[in-house]
Copies of this chain bind each other. A is one copy, B any other.
Amino acid sequence: MKHTYEYPRAALTVDCVVFGFDAAELQVLLIERGISPFKGQWALPGGFVRVDETLDEAARRELLEETGLEKLFLEQLYTFSSVNRDPRERVISVAYYALTKPTYHRTQATTDAADAQWFSVRHIPALAFDHADILATALQRLRGKLRYEPIGFELLPPKFTLSHLQQLYEAVLGTELDKRNFRKKVLSYDLLLPLDETHREGAHRPAQLFRFDPVRYEKLKKKGFHFEL
């Protein structure tokens, strides 16, 4: 079926910047394009928005189709609209960014799904379209959010140690943090529940495991509290 309109309309896509955390580095999930334009180049997962779905739905659908990921933290980032960002025709793209826990991306790495691959944000290949701009914007946003909202946990497995969390902050923000001060502050918010388990690895003392307490977080949020660092 063909569709006819009075005035020309831009096509609408969503593109997703999926962040993960592994090997003490912030990672981004890219897919290799199988078709022209930019065939063979790396790009952000994404695709056209259907006329009967919201943008959030489109983003989740595309992620599932192209990378097998689902149920992750997802938030709208910005809408990109340079007139020539797509060489074929006018395409406006609503960008999203997503955060995944390592459990999931392990699963992902072993499945197929087009040709998805994780890249450290420190070594990103040339990207199709204006995806480098989108990625830069997403990084900026992630850094901002991490400081004043407790979303770091979305990048860690459900059980994690304070050192894991600190490494994450250091990697994303690109700073070094004092161990004692970091722990003092994080624990002061009372958002982390110590578990009865420890994490053992290597020849040293085992580390206390924690999990994030989302219920407590919602309570605090309603009282208007201010998370930082």
Chain A residues with a Cβ under 8 A of chain B: 2-12, 48-56, 76, 78-79, 81-83, 90, 92, 94
Contact = CB atoms under 8 A, between A and B. Distances in A.
Q: How many of these chains are in the complex? A: 2
B10 A51 contact: yes
Contact of A81 (B5, B55, B81, B92): B55
Contacts of A90: 51-52
Contact of A9 (B11, B78, B82): B11
A144 B215 CA distance: 24
Contacts of A56: 81
A3 B10 CA distance: 11
A12 B6 CA distance: 13
Contact of A51 (B7, B48, B79): B7
Nearest to A9: B9
Give chain A's interface secondary structure class: loop
B8 A51 contact: yes
Contacts of A48: 7
Nearest to A55: B81
A48 to B, nearest CB: 7
Contacts of A6: 2-3
A55 B78 CA distance: 11
By Cβ-Cβ distance, the 10 closest A-B pairs, closest first, are: A55-B81, A8-B51, A9-B9, A3-B8, A54-B81, A79-B79, A4-B4, A51-B90, A2-B4, A3-B5
Contacts of A50: 7
A94 to B, nearest CB: 5
A91 B81 CA distance: 17
Question: Which of A6, A50, A79 has the most chain B CB atoms inside 10 A of its CB?
Answer: A79
